[in-house]
Amino acid sequence: MFARVCPDGFIFFNKSCYYFSDEKLRHGDARSQCEGNTSQLVSIGSKEESDFLFKKIKRGNYWIGANGEPTPADAVYNISASNVSQSLFWDDGTAVTYIDPFGDFRGNTFNNPDGCYVILISGDTKRWKDYDCQRPCRFVCEYKGK
Asked whether residue 40 is domain-assigned, the answer is yes
What is the tally of structural domains in the chain?
Answer: 1
- Is residue 27 within a helix (H) or strand (E), and if so which, with residue range? helix 27-36
Kindly report, residue by residue over 40-73, the tens digit of the pLDDT.
999 998 989 999 999 999 899 999 998 875 544 4
pLDDT, position 116: 87
The rounded distance, in Å, linking the Cα atoms of 39 and 33 is 9
Judged by DSSP in three states, 22 sits in coil
Asked whether residue 2 is domain-assigned, the answer is no
Asked whether residue 11 is domain-assigned, the answer is no
Asked whether residue 3 is domain-assigned, the answer is no
Asked whether residue 109 is domain-assigned, the answer is yes
pTM of the model: 0.81
Asked whether residue 6 is domain-assigned, the answer is no
Degrees to nearest 5, angle at CA 87 with 35 and 62: 45
Q: What is the CATH number of the domain that holds 48?
A: 3.10.100.10
Residues of the chain with pLDDT under 70: 1-4, 69-87, 100-114, 146
The rounded distance, in Å, linking the Cα atoms of 50 and 140 is 12
What residues make up the domain containing 110?
A: 16-71+78-143
pLDDT, position 100: 61
